[in-house]
Chain A
């Protein structure tokens, strides 16, 4: 019992946020008489919030390194407009337009990264300027809404993975297969990590806790899989894309030299430089990276809307930043996890959806989201203070 208490005490912030998500889900499930967790809503939840998740992946890294990016919303509008023009006006093929969008995203990132890393202007200022610049360019570019776009493109945002394996009862088999792969992957990776720790005679969590954790996480994935398999289309394509990005970037941040340099720079920039880390290169690459992810978000958003609009991406930067902070990223840098930010994004998404189902006024929705952000961070800080004094 004591061991358990200590374990949860140490990991309170990680579980606190998962718990918060579950509570919010439960709350709305009750308030909406069970409509929140209808299969089609679950699928829509991921489709609607894919952009926050994609942007938050890049934003976590940027904030961990001690910067911020205010421009992502405008960049999404700019690149979204561009990709629509390329297909609609210039008749480019879908793959070519996507490739071009990604290249432009990287270039936009390189532009901002240049001023931040090599000229030494604070990211807050550079990206504030970027926010104005790219919003302006988006409006210039997209005079009127650009539509229609090729349906194969729109499927990226709205479509689901093709059901080529048929149905098992009501359930989409492709979705079930994906769910099983996810669970197996989870178990294998966790068991291997644990085995590795044991091999090197390092402390591991108590076996019971370990199994319990696996069972809970596996059950959650199974539940989501089950609901998705009952939804209209099965697994949303965009959910697969987000999943791949989350896995890839988690690996990048945790397991690669580059990721370690990001945390080192964020934790103590001078010490990192004196350890031979090129802080400038790290900064530059981080902004190229978030530029690329902004392009992915732009593709997702434009595809979902089925049109290029100049007003797209409004407030996306705030959503992404809020997701990071709800998810436990430290304002001062040095600390933050992609998994946390994803849960942060889901909290915001569930709030949005639940409040919409309840037909709460949009203005109130905004106020409530603000309050949740404040409470989440307050909880985090208070729990940390307790930890420090114990």
Chain B
């Protein structure tokens, strides 16, 4: 795949950093939050000019460590020493760390949606003389930086006009506008598809050649194996080991996993014996237009079926219309001028609102958990019961506190959500644990058809395995499951049948036995062709 090629070449060129020259040393860093010891005695050493990866399970403390390094948590709120180029530094805030040449790109994208790309890139660093912004300079600088990361978009458009993949590149361009010696990327590719990821990794390799050291956090181990020179594994807030890709031992993904979870993981996907029953959901002739640009068709006469006990995948590139298809079926929560028919258990049903959809036993977990999936200021308990309060309340609408606690506690244990109690505020959980809360919320609603949009985004290998297990269990219990994912190996490993989506149309259907990445890719990139030719149908149901 493209990912491997670009990055492997990159490493060949820049891998030989002299072992002695450390740009960064973090010594016995400890950091506590009320009730949680996030880091205890962590050590990290990064050589000048290398790409250093950090791996670890959800909640291991990776993001926290990087926030300590970049001054988000200022000196005094943690214990331990940070040495930059051999000298101790004590940052009071992000400004200090940026002055020292450290730039962090956080796990959550932080572009202001309504400001232009140029404004975003120079936010807090405005190109001004005497307090007056020099717009020409801002724009031309922005355009130059955008080109450096391979973007040719107009710097006047807003982040809303470009996809997530490009937004991530804009973040990097923004970082480049500052003096950067050490670039920290916290899960930069979590929301990207393979192509965008490959591009981004290529950029990091390029930066290395230009002398920029990078620290990259990722749960995608194939990327780390492809690009990193060394990897430090963190587990439960402690440094486990640092592995050298150029050393004597060959570092495989399985080797990293062993460090992360403390034991070897034999299989990435749990076994699954499909018990396929009657048809659960059928969508016919489904057409959806863009909610603002109402001329634009985003879903184009889609047909789709899923049976009880079946796991069906939706493969597609970014912007293919998979999320739009799912959300429009889920109570018309996306789109305009929606037409088509939905059959549940063979009966045509009408779904006009999310409530209707839930009533008909359809659930949808969003890919954007922060904006659409969770109430970040509320507790785990309140989030889990949000979609099914009816189940824990009596007939006149009073919530039975005890019952609710029991339900929440059950999911905390079952899904191994890493938090001291169900009363923890969701916004403070690590990304992967937040995702588990979203899943709990919808599994708890006990739907017949569950649509999971990027269910393992930002989730570590161990937890992924658990989530696949949950998906299998749901199917075994007779539920119909639809999985949307940008990771083809995941779809192939989990699904019984996969639809490929391209430009709003279902361009292909592949049974598990015949599914290969190449085959799916071919359908996923199928352009709109004159009538008929594109509607390839393979395999029957």
Binding site for B on A (CB under 8 A): 6, 9-10, 193, 196-197, 199-203, 251, 255-258, 260-261, 263-264, 267-268, 270-278, 334-335, 387, 389-390
Chain B window 341-375, contacts with chain A (Cβ cutoff 8 Å), 1 for yes, 0 for no: 00000000000011101100000101000011111
Q: What residues of chain B lie closer than 8 Å to A272, measured between beta carbons?
A: 375, 386
Asked if A263 and B382 make an inter-chain contact with CB atoms under 8 angstroms apart, the answer reads: yes
Asked if A256 and B399 make an inter-chain contact with CB atoms under 8 angstroms apart, the answer reads: yes
Question: Apart from A200-B405, A255-B398, A274-B373, what 10 extra A-B contacts exist at CB < 8 Å?
Answer: A196-B401, A200-B406, A202-B405, A202-B422, A202-B423, A203-B420, A255-B399, A264-B375, A264-B382, A334-B375
B18 sits at the interface (CB 8 A)? no
Contact of A203 among B372, B377, B386, B421 (CB under 8 A): B421
Q: Which residue of A lies closest to B331 (CB)?
A: A276
B393 sits at the interface (CB 8 A)? yes
Asked if B397 and A256 make an inter-chain contact with CB atoms under 8 angstroms apart, the answer reads: yes
Asked if B378 and A390 make an inter-chain contact with CB atoms under 8 angstroms apart, the answer reads: no
Asked if A268 and B376 make an inter-chain contact with CB atoms under 8 angstroms apart, the answer reads: yes
Contact of B375 among A6, A193, A271 (CB under 8 A): A271
Q: What residues of chain A lie closer than 8 Å to B33, measured between beta carbons?
A: 390
A200-B397 in contact given A271-B374, A390-B34 (Cβ < 8 Å): no
A264-B386 in contact given A10-B34, A271-B373, A389-B74 (Cβ < 8 Å): yes
* Cα A258 to Cα B372 with chains together (Å): 20
Asked if A390 and B372 make an inter-chain contact with CB atoms under 8 angstroms apart, the answer reads: no
Q: What residues of chain B lie closer than 8 Å to A6, measured between beta carbons?
A: 34-35
Name the residue in A199, A267, A271, A277 with the highest tally of chain B Cβ atoms < 10 Å from its Cβ.
A271
Asked if A274 and B377 make an inter-chain contact with CB atoms under 8 angstroms apart, the answer reads: no
Asked if B376 and A267 make an inter-chain contact with CB atoms under 8 angstroms apart, the answer reads: yes
Asked if A257 and B393 make an inter-chain contact with CB atoms under 8 angstroms apart, the answer reads: yes
B402 sits at the interface (CB 8 A)? yes
B415 sits at the interface (CB 8 A)? no
* Cα A271 to Cα B366 with chains together (Å): 9
Asked if B377 and A335 make an inter-chain contact with CB atoms under 8 angstroms apart, the answer reads: yes
* Cα A65 to Cα B375 with chains together (Å): 13
* Cα A260 to Cα B355 with chains together (Å): 16
Contact of B409 among A196, A202, A256, A261 (CB under 8 A): A202
A260-B389 in contact given A202-B421, A276-B358 (Cβ < 8 Å): yes
Asked if B372 and A263 make an inter-chain contact with CB atoms under 8 angstroms apart, the answer reads: no
Asked if A257 and B390 make an inter-chain contact with CB atoms under 8 angstroms apart, the answer reads: yes
Asked if A270 and B421 make an inter-chain contact with CB atoms under 8 angstroms apart, the answer reads: no
* Cα A348 to Cα B32 with chains together (Å): 38
Q: What residues of chain A lie closer than 8 Å to B376, measured between beta carbons?
A: 267-268
* Cα A390 to Cα B79 with chains together (Å): 12
A257-B405 in contact given A267-B377, A272-B375, A275-B387 (Cβ < 8 Å): no
* Cα A275 to Cα B393 with chains together (Å): 16
State the 10 A-B residue pairs at the shortest beta-carbon distance, nearest first: A267-B375, A275-B387, A276-B358, A268-B375, A257-B397, A275-B386, A200-B405, A257-B389, A276-B354, A276-B355
Q: What residues of chain B lie closer than 8 Å to A268, measured between beta carbons?
A: 371, 374-377
Nearest CB of A to B1, in Å: 34
* Cα A196 to Cα B421 with chains together (Å): 15
Q: What residues of chain A lie closer than 8 Å to B330, measured between beta carbons?
A: 274
Asked if A267 and B378 make an inter-chain contact with CB atoms under 8 angstroms apart, the answer reads: yes
Chain B window 380-414, contacts with chain A (Cβ cutoff 8 Å), 1 for yes, 0 for no: 00100111011001000111011001100100000
* Cα A6 to Cα B364 with chains together (Å): 39
Q: What residues of chain B lie closer than 8 Å to A196, measured between beta carbons?
A: 401-402, 405
* Cα A275 to Cα B437 with chains together (Å): 13
* Cα A271 to Cα B365 with chains together (Å): 10
B275 sits at the interface (CB 8 A)? no
Q: Which residue of A lies closest to B369 (CB)?
A: A271
Contact of A270 among B355, B357, B372 (CB under 8 A): B372
22 interchain pairs, CB-CB under 8 A: A9-B34, A200-B409, A201-B409, A203-B423, A255-B401, A256-B393, A256-B398, A260-B382, A261-B389, A264-B375, A264-B382, A267-B375, A268-B376, A268-B377, A271-B373, A271-B374, A274-B333, A274-B364, A276-B331, A276-B387, A389-B73, A389-B77
Nearest CB of B to A196, in Å: 5
Q: Which residue of A lies closest to B371 (CB)?
A: A270
* Cα A201 to Cα B401 with chains together (Å): 13
* Cα A267 to Cα B35 with chains together (Å): 24
Nearest CB of B to A276, in Å: 4
* Cα A201 to Cα B405 with chains together (Å): 10
* Cα A389 to Cα B74 with chains together (Å): 8
* Cα A142 to Cα B139 with chains together (Å): 61
* Cα A365 to Cα B317 with chains together (Å): 64
Q: What residues of chain A lie closer than 8 Å to B307, measured between beta carbons?
A: none
Chain B window 93-122, contacts with chain A (Cβ cutoff 8 Å), 1 for yes, 0 for no: 000000000000000000000000000000
Cβ < 8 Å to A, chain B residues 211-270: none
Asked if B378 and A264 make an inter-chain contact with CB atoms under 8 angstroms apart, the answer reads: yes
Nearest CB of A to B116, in Å: 24
Asked if B402 and A274 make an inter-chain contact with CB atoms under 8 angstroms apart, the answer reads: no
Q: Which residue of B lies closest to A203 (CB)?
A: B421
Q: What residues of chain B lie closer than 8 Å to A267, measured between beta carbons?
A: 375-378
B441 sits at the interface (CB 8 A)? yes
Q: What residues of chain B lie closer than 8 Å to A264, measured between beta carbons?
A: 375, 378, 382, 386
Q: What residues of chain A lie closer than 8 Å to B406, measured between beta carbons?
A: 200
Q: What residues of chain A lie closer than 8 Å to B32, measured between beta carbons?
A: 390
Q: What residues of chain B lie closer than 8 Å to A274, measured between beta carbons?
A: 330, 333, 354, 364, 366, 372-373
Nearest CB of A to B384, in Å: 11
Nearest CB of B to A113, in Å: 19
Q: Which residue of A lies closest to B402 (CB)?
A: A196
Cβ < 8 Å to A, chain B residues 273-324: none
Asked if A263 and B399 make an inter-chain contact with CB atoms under 8 angstroms apart, the answer reads: no
* Cα A199 to Cα B355 with chains together (Å): 33
Q: What residues of chain B lie closer than 8 Å to A334, measured between beta carbons?
A: 375, 377-378
* Cα A16 to Cα B421 with chains together (Å): 25
* Cα A6 to Cα B36 with chains together (Å): 12
A271-B409 in contact given A9-B34, A334-B377 (Cβ < 8 Å): no
Asked if B77 and A390 make an inter-chain contact with CB atoms under 8 angstroms apart, the answer reads: yes
Chain B window 57-81, contacts with chain A (Cβ cutoff 8 Å), 1 for yes, 0 for no: 0000000000000000110010000
* Cα A255 to Cα B397 with chains together (Å): 9
Chain B window 408-441, contacts with chain A (Cβ cutoff 8 Å), 1 for yes, 0 for no: 0100000000001111000000000000000001
Asked if B399 and A257 make an inter-chain contact with CB atoms under 8 angstroms apart, the answer reads: yes
Nearest CB of A to B252, in Å: 39
* Cα A203 to Cα B378 with chains together (Å): 18
Asked if B378 and A263 make an inter-chain contact with CB atoms under 8 angstroms apart, the answer reads: yes
Q: What residues of chain A lie closer than 8 Å to B385, measured between beta carbons?
A: 260
Q: Which residue of B lies closest to A201 (CB)?
A: B409
Q: Which residue of A lies closest to B375 (CB)?
A: A267
Cβ < 8 Å to A, chain B residues 35-50: 35
Asked if B399 and A199 make an inter-chain contact with CB atoms under 8 angstroms apart, the answer reads: no
Name the residue in A196, A197, A267, A334 with the highest tally of chain B Cβ atoms < 10 Å from its Cβ.
A267
* Cα A335 to Cα B405 with chains together (Å): 20
* Cα A273 to Cα B357 with chains together (Å): 12
Asked if A200 and B402 make an inter-chain contact with CB atoms under 8 angstroms apart, the answer reads: yes
Q: Which residue of A lies closest to B381 (CB)?
A: A202
Q: Which residue of A lies closest to B333 (CB)?
A: A274
Q: What residues of chain A lie closer than 8 Å to B374, measured between beta carbons?
A: 268, 271
Q: What residues of chain B lie closer than 8 Å to A276, measured between beta carbons?
A: 331, 354-355, 357-358, 387
Q: Which residue of B lies closest to A278 (CB)?
A: B355
* Cα A277 to Cα B387 with chains together (Å): 8
Nearest CB of B to A286, in Å: 15
Q: What residues of chain A lie closer than 8 Å to B77, measured between beta carbons?
A: 389-390
Nearest CB of A to B443, in Å: 14
Nearest CB of B to A246, in Å: 18
* Cα A263 to Cα B377 with chains together (Å): 10
Nearest CB of A to B71, in Å: 12
Q: What residues of chain B lie closer than 8 Å to A201, measured between beta carbons?
A: 409
Q: What residues of chain B lie closer than 8 Å to A271, measured between beta carbons?
A: 371-375, 386
Nearest CB of A to B451, in Å: 12
Nearest CB of A to B297, in Å: 23
Q: What residues of chain A lie closer than 8 Å to B397, measured between beta carbons?
A: 256-258
Q: What residues of chain A lie closer than 8 Å to B399, measured between beta carbons?
A: 255-257, 260
